[in-house]
């Protein structure tokens, strides 16, 4: 099993993504996660490019990473300056890292038009820079910028640049598809040519402008590259970099290369979502291997097949990358989908099977109205319980609410206030009011305030995410909207849904389900009941949406 080094540049190349700006603390947290995952190199940034990158290295070297080496990035010396006097090279050394990566020109177009020096002078720049750093550092990696474009235009000069780096002491030479437009066959041929020219290890660094960065990286490894560079989730300048999530999973699970230990690979999904969270990005549901939809099955035919044998529609075991199978419920669902979801919730088949026909009909009708349960498991579990019990689980009854959003002056923020009346489990009515940051927040606070006397445990519920989607196209502010609310407590996350042409009403539906689900799951845990067991008695049922 051939070992492939994993070189992560999320903290440098990934930070060149539009709308991503990681703080020093965020970069340090990601570095620790990358180390735990088993990455070999963590490129921390370019010390001379900005204060944030410069501030990263001192605390990074104190993290006590167990496996990964922190790398400082930079460029070759300036054209008219000796290596010993070059500020960029000096800043790399001041970073205090055991390894450096410097970018070098390997396309004669750049040498001629950007640097405006001779090809031989460019080779001297490479030799001087590498030799200077190699005398002072354990490892010097050279990124041969635009190698594949240079190799296509002037193959001998591109290879001369690679030779110059190797002869001066580079510990690895990484071939870069900087414009991201090369095809896999070109990548493979270029790697083989470089391997024939030098004896030091070859790496690959691909951008994704042709949406081939993962394929190109794999082609390079198959051709003999021993190091693969990229970013978590493929973030990076323009269209991004090679996505290490897919590269590592494909190399290890499909081609038999060793990148990380199997138990570390099982942390791939968690790592992917952690980086998105820290970078304030919405995770891509359909991202290969780690996406929420990567092993999700919506069509009834698919759900029926995977219940019998998962490999019918899953190319790998999702547990190998820390993901899991999901069977979705929607207007395309069949009996198999519902049986699978019931099993997931701990409801025995004999309990739910007599209710399936009516449940499926109600589900399809609700989805026709705009409800979407594939992303709202909590609302769907409540719907399952309604089918089983014959009534919707409600721990309180709404007697009414009013929401006022008032703006008094153009230059002042609006004032939102909600008043609510609810009847608790003992029949008492609570009438409360609250101000909030917007009408939905005010309604949420008022509901919690009213219910706190009956159910103090709702105090640890927090709203994690709130999404509104317009369902009717072309009718403007009269549109029906779907609201998804993600809630959490110390133990769980759950999502609920509401639909209406009134955004406050849709939000109320999702908020009410969120509180009911919290109380339902807590009571089930306290009473030791299974998910298919009947609820505790004497709980009022509110009229309204079924």
Query: What are the pLDDT digits (tens) for 79-100?
Result: 989 999 999 999 999 999 999 9
Measured CA distances, 404 to 417, 420, 442 (Å): 5, 12, 9
Evaluate whether residue 541 is within a structural domain: no
Percent of the chain with pLDDT over 90: 64
C-alpha separations of 33 from 17, 243, 273, 374 in Å: 20, 16, 11, 30
Q: Is residue 440 scored above 70 in pLDDT?
A: yes
pLDDT of residue 538: 35
**Domain boundary residue among 238, 260, 282?**
260
Nearest to 205 by CA among 185, 186, 239, 231: 231
pLDDT tens, 143-177? 999 999 999 999 999 999 999 999 999 999 999 99
Residue 258 pLDDT level (bands cut at 50, 70, 90): very high
Scan for tokens 């709702």, then name that residue: 458
**Mean pLDDT, rounded, of the chain:** 88
Q: Do residues 323 and 206 both lie within one domain? A: no
Q: What is the CATH number of the domain that holds 432?
A: 3.30.160.270
Sheet order of strands, 429-436 included:
397-406, 415-423, 429-436
Rounded-to-integer distance, Cα 454 and Cα 448, Å: 10
Residue 252 CA to residue 250 CA, distance in Å, equals: 6
235 and 383 housed in the same domain = no
Q: How far apart are CA 24 and CA 36, in angstroms?
A: 19
Q: Which of 211, 250, 249, 243 minimizes the C-alpha distance to 229?
A: 243
| CATH number of 38's domain | 3.20.20.70
For residue 462, give both structure tokens: 């927090």
Of the three residues 366, 389, 412, the one that is the final residue of a domain is 389
User: Among the three residues 361, 389, 417, which one is the final residue of a domain in this structure?
Assistant: 389
How far is C-alpha 357 from the geometric centre of its chain's CA atoms? 37
**What is the radius of gyration, based on Cα positions, of the chain?**
29
Any domain includes 288: no
Q: In which band, very low, low, confident or very high, does the pLDDT at 329 lie, cut at 50, 70 and 90? A: low
Q: Are residues 146 and 193 in the same domain?
A: yes
Q: Is residue 545 part of a domain?
A: no
Query: Which residues touch 23 (CB under 8 Å, ≥6 apart)?
Result: 52
**Both 385 and 403 in a single domain?**
no
247 and 118 housed in the same domain: yes
Same-domain check for residues 183 and 223: yes
> Which one-letter DSSP state was computed for residue 213?
H
Residues 173 and 30 in one domain: yes
In a domain, 538, yes or no: no
Q: Are residues 222 and 97 in the same domain?
A: yes
Residue 378: inside a domain: yes
Do 507 and 379 lie in one domain? The reply is: no
Residues 333 and 447 in one domain: no
pLDDT digits (tens, 9 = 90+) for 375-409: 688 898 898 888 888 888 889 999 999 999 998 88
Q: Is 506 domain-assigned?
A: yes
Q: Which domain holds residue 456?
A: 397-527
Judge whether 11 and 22 are in contact, CB under 8 Å.
Answer: yes
Residues 373 and 406 in one domain: no
Does a structural domain hold residue 281?
no
- Number of domains composing the chain: 3
Same domain, yes or no, for 133 and 227?
Answer: yes
Tell me which residue has tokens 């790398």.
71
What's the pLDDT score for residue 337? 67
Residue 265 lies in a domain: no
């Amino acid at each position: 099993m051939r070992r492939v080094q994993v070189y992560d540049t999320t903290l440098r190349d990934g930070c060149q993504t539009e709308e991503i700006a990681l703080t020093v603390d965020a970069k340090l947290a990601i570095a620790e996660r990358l180390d735990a995952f088993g990455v070999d190199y963590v490129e921390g940034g370019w010390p001379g490019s900005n204060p944030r990158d410069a501030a990263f290295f001192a605390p990074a070297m104190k993290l006590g990473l167990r496996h990964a080496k922190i790398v400082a990035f930079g460029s070759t010396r300036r054209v008219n300056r000796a290596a010993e006097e070059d500020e960029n090279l000096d800043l790399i050394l001041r970073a205090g890292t055991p390894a450096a990566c410097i970018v070098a020109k390997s396309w004669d177009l750049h040498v001629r038009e950007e640097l405006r020096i001779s090809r031989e002078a460019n080779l001297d720049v490479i030799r001087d820079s590498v030799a200077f750093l190699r005398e002072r550092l354990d490892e010097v990696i050279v990124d041969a910028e635009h190698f594949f474009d240079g190799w296509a235009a002037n193959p001998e000069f591109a290879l001369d640049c690679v030779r110059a780096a190797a002869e001066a002491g580079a510990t690895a030479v990484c071939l870069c598809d900087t414009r991201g437009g090369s095809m896999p066959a070109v990548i493979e041929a270029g790697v083989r040519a470089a391997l024939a020219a030098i004896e030091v290890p070859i790496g690959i660094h691909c951008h994704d402008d042709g949406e081939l960065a993962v394929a190109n990286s794999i082609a390079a490894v198959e051709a003999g590259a021993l190091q693969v560079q990229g970013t978590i989730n493929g973030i990076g300048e323009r269209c991004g970099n090679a996505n290490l999530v897919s590269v590592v999973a494909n190399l290890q699970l499909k081609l038999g290369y060793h990148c990380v230990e199997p138990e570390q690979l099982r942390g791939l999904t968690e790592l992917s979502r952690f980086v998105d969270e820290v970078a304030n990005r919405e995770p891509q549901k359909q991202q290969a291997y780690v996406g929420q939809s990567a092993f999700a099955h919506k069509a009834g035919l698919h759900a029926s097949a995977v219940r019998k044998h998962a490999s019918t529609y899953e190319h790998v075991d999702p547990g190998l990358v820390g993901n899991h199978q999901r069977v979705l419920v929607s207007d395309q669902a069949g009996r198999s989908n519902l049986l699978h979801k019931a099993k997931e919730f701990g409801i025995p088949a004999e309990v739910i099977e007599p209710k399936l026909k009516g449940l499926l009909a109600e589900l399809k009708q609700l989805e026709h109205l705009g409800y979407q349960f594939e992303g709202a498991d909590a609302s769907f579990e409540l719907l399952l319980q309604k089918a089983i019990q014959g009534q919707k689980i409600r721990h309180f009854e709404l007697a009414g609410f009013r929401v006022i959003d008032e703006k008094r002056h153009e230059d002042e923020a609006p004032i939102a206030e909600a008043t609510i009346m609810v009847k608790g489990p003992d029949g008492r009515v609570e009438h409360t009011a609250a101000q909030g940051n917007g009408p939905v927040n005010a309604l949420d606070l008022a509901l919690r305030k009213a219910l706190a006397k009956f159910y103090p445990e709702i105090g640890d519920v927090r709203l994690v995410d709130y999404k509104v989607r317009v369902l009717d196209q072309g009718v403007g502010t009269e549109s029906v909207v779907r609201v998804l609310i993600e809630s959490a407590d110390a133990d769980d996350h759950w999502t609920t849904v509401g639909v209406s042409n009134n955004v406050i009403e849709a939000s109320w539906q999702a908020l009410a389900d969120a509180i009911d689900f919290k109380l339902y799951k807590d009571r089930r845990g306290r009473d030791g009941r299974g998910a298919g067991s009947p609820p505790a008695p004497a709980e009022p049922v509110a009229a309204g949406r079924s």
